[in-house]
Amino acid sequence: MDTALAVHIGEDELPFVDIGDGSQLKVLQVKHGEGIWVIENIFQAGYEVETHRHTGPVYGFTTSGAWKYKEYDYINRAGSFLYEPAGSVHTLQCIEDNTRVWFHMTGSNINLDAQGNMTSVVDGTLTLEYYYAVCEKLGLPRPSVLVS
């Protein structure tokens, strides 16, 4: 593919898949060599992502609903932009149904237990493999995620 060409992916070209409690995931792009992964989530109230630390920066943009980090007082609402530097530790909690958030991440998420010990590591490659596997299990065609 000519890397100088713009790539368009329509809203309905990639499916959302269930990640538990009615929350959903869509993988938009994974750049293996750069450690970049871009995803969109739709969270339901009460959904919580385990406490984790990022090895690289994360950018988040909320398009609907509301969510927060257990460790902070602010609430991310529609139109909110969030920057997380490498090394930040937090626990995502969704507080409204149908909360849509777009994340651009670099590196890995290191998941932590209550004592701060590593329990698992998630990155773009693992997330993409999971996404493909769930789509296959659901009988969906392999999604045309932008992968390089």
| Per-residue pLDDT tens over the stretch 102-131 | 999 999 999 999 999 999 999 999 999 999
Strands (E), 21-142: 23-31, 36-43, 52-54, 58-64, 66-69, 75-77, 81-84, 89-90, 92-94, 99-106, 108-112, 118-123
Residue 16 phi/psi, 5° resolution?
Answer: -90, 145
Which amino acid belongs to residue 68?
Answer: K
| Domains defined along the chain, listed by start | 37-123 (2.60.120.10)
Q: Quick one: what percent of the chain has pLDDT higher than 70?
A: 98
pTM over 0.75: yes
| Per-residue pLDDT tens over the stretch 3-59 | 678 999 998 899 999 998 899 999 999 999 999 999 999 999 999 999 999 999 999
Give the torsion sign (CA, 43, 46, 50, 51): positive
